[in-house]
Structure 1
Amino acid sequence: MFRQSISKQLNNSIKSNTFIRTMASYNPKSLLLNHTCLRVKDPKISVDYYTKNYGLKLIRHEKMPEMKFDLYFLAQDDSKGSQFAKEGVLELTHNYGTENDPNYKINNGNEEPYRGFGHICFSVDNIEAASEKLLNNGVAFKKKLTDGRQKNIAFALDPDGYWVELIEHGSDKVQGVSNTNSYKFNHTMIRVKDPVKSLKFYREVLGMKLLSTSEHESAKFTLYFLGYEHDDSFKENSLSREEQSKRESVLELTHNWGTENDSDFKYHNGNEQPQGYGHIGIALDNPGEFCNGIDSKFGDELTWGLKFNQGKMKNIAFIKDPDNYAIEILPKNYTV
């Protein structure tokens, strides 16, 4: 009954074009899902892991000694221009000294009682060859391609224990070969308590579109995939798995059935202790106008971690979703 209620509410929202009517005046088509931020213990080890195994390039290293942390930005796209004007960026945050602390451990978001963030995902040209290459490189796996019932996905582990999903996009696939230059930073997954509230936030407040839905009745969970799509003719909830695998900067919301009915249930947002996952970041041409617009429209319905231009680091904002996950809002031409 609840699943039917979710589907009905979602379908009504899509059909009524709620976002288009209420948000179009201050939701420019420049919006993109720019980056995902993860804290890491040792940046040298982590940067090497992602560049060697997934074809990412270190496109920017921002040193913040006065705040005692550094930021490392990695992406497939290493063309000139701001790191905030691209999709598919992975931001690794290193707090000084953690690499020398034998007791410091990252929370990967998948262990009780600190579950919340789930994984990041790379879409590859040939998943069999990619998995074999990772194994030969000494990469550990949570789930190998041959494990379990699903033979078309795998989960590797990064140096901090974060889960890294592998799926296949199949473009220019060559038997027995995998080219890391073809890999895409496809999606970031977080778990959500109530999908109705979360979908409303990401669609109506942040302006994302529902790309597809995947329901798993036997395991009692549903996956909702969202992203920015500025083609006016796009039909929500219509992408095939193949079409979606060729994208970057997709957000996956995982709903485990029944959590919405438990008043005491909550997910860990990654920013409370023990820390791990940080945030996703959306970028656009005029974030100040955007923040003012959604604040005016939604008012007290919104929770701000930092209102635009009011912190030590200017020209950014942090808003929180219904599960208290952080979303950074910043200009495409932002300078740290």
Structure 2
Amino acid sequence: MATNLSKYRFNHSMIRVKNPEASLKFYQFLGLKLIDTVKNPSSKFDLYFLAFDSPAAVSHRSLRSDREGIIELTHNYGTESDPNYKVANGNSDPGRGFGHLCISVDNIQAACARIEKEGYQFKKNLTDGQMRDIAFVLDPDGYWVEIIAQKPLEETAAIEQTDVTSYRMNHTMIRVRDAEKSLAFYKDIMGMSLLSTFNNDAAKFTNYFLGYPISYTIPPSSNAAAYREGILELTWNHGTEADPNFSYHSGNSEPQGFGHTCVSVDDLEAACERLEKNNVQWQKWLTDGRMKDIAFVLDPDGYWIEIIQNEKFKKLAP
């Protein structure tokens, strides 16, 4: 059976956290729900999977592997009581690479006011800088979480309420050294489509937004890009491709923080065979180690991409 790239999903993004209680409280305050927990006491780590799962969510009650827009929190036992433990948020050296997660909201003014009232710190408030339609809040480990609007600001300025059940886990941003190489990899190898491009010549960077086909309908009154889940944003700072010594940090060596993105596929073995034929670099082949049901490939910058079976299609796979 051949693998069908149109059935792939940008399933989740994994970040390491120091204190799972504090992190769960933060992300649940933003409206995400804990949809699954995987305990690994023998290996001394636990995994927490969060997603928007209200009846209004685009993937409400779906199988974990058939969703997009999941955040995976990885907790290694003992970090919560280690005063010297600190994750790398990806936005400073050493450790620069991963940029941020992004949540889109129904009413950005009210959403930011609610977050501020709860006492969480902002990296960038709505009124900071030139871009008045985005904000960045810091999670308990200092990871940046971008807040963007699903509707124009002028439509929500007079509304004081925000409904977390309408929020979306919109995108994950990573920095890339060579835009052409990364775009070719994610489009030709991983099967994503380029949804939009934002170029800022003055600041010398370009953002590329990629994703897989969606099966839900976007309301005509919504910002189509902001309403979606499961988008990958590649940020290219102009000129990095010309420096042979330049590289970004994957987050999986010291200093650790961001771990990986994950794509779920219709047929795991067929997908891995196709990736092998395309000469990808493997971090973990299916038969390596104890876990025989996941694989990891490396993108051109060395970021890890987990490949898992979408259980919805498992009955169709050999």
Scaled by the length of structure 2, what TM-score is found?
A: 0.90
- Pick closer, same or farther for the CA change 1:311–1:81 going to 2, 3 Å: farther
Which of structures 1 and 2 has the larger relative contact order (alpha carbons within 8 angstroms, sep 6+)? 2
- Pick closer, same or farther for the CA change 1:156–1:230 going to 2, 3 Å: closer
Residue number in structure 1 paired with 2:57 = none
Residue number in structure 2 paired with 1:99 = 80
Deviation at 1:76, TM superposition (A): 0.6
What's the secondary structure of 1:327's corresponding residue?
Answer: strand
What's the secondary structure of 1:200's corresponding residue?
Answer: helix
What amino acid is aligned across from residue 161 of structure 2 in structure 1? V
Q: Is the CA contact 1:288–1:315 (under 8 Å) kept in the aligned structure 2? A: no
- Confirm whether residue 123 of structure 1 aligns to residue 107 of structure 2: no
The gaps in structure 2 that reach 5 residues or longer are: 55-59, 216-221
Paired residue for 1:251, among 226, 229, 232?
232
Q: Is the CA contact 2:2–2:270 (under 8 Å) kept in the aligned structure 1? A: no
- Pick closer, same or farther for the CA change 1:29–1:309 going to 2, 3 Å: farther
Residue number in structure 2 paired with 1:56 = 32
Determine the C-alpha separation between the residues in 2 that align with 1:230 and 1:194: 28
What's the secondary structure of 1:312's corresponding residue?
Answer: coil
Q: How many residues align?
A: 299
Determine the C-alpha separation between the residues in 2 that align with 1:116 and 1:268: 5
Scaled by the length of structure 1, what TM-score is found?
A: 0.85
Determine the C-alpha separation between the residues in 2 that align with 1:189 and 1:47: 21
Deviation at 1:223, TM superposition (A): 0.2
What's the secondary structure of 1:304's corresponding residue?
Answer: strand
- Confirm whether residue 215 of structure 1 aligns to residue 199 of structure 2: yes
What's the secondary structure of 2:223's corresponding residue?
Answer: helix
Residue number in structure 1 paired with 2:143 = 162
What amino acid is aligned across from residue 85 of structure 1 in structure 2? D
What amino acid is aligned across from residue 76 of structure 1 in structure 2? F
- Confirm whether residue 308 of structure 1 aligns to residue 286 of structure 2: yes
Paired residue for 2:305, among 327, 332, 336?
327
Determine the C-alpha separation between the residues in 2 that align with 1:25 and 1:327: 21
Residue number in structure 1 paired with 2:163 = 179
The gaps in structure 1 that reach 5 residues or longer are: 1-23, 232-240
Deviation at 1:278, TM superposition (A): 0.5
Paired residue for 1:69, among 45, 48, 52?
45
State the superposition RMSD in angstroms. Answer: 2.0
Determine the C-alpha separation between the residues in 2 that align with 1:38 and 1:84: 18
Q: Percent same amino acid at aligned positions?
A: 49
What amino acid is aligned across from residue 207 of structure 1 in structure 2? G
Q: 1:77-116 counterparts in 2 under 5 A?
A: 77=53, 79-116=60-97
Residue number in structure 2 paired with 1:19 = none
- Confirm whether residue 317 of structure 1 aligns to residue 295 of structure 2: yes
Determine the C-alpha separation between the residues in 1 that align with 2:235 and 2:248: 12
Greater fraction of residues in helix: 1
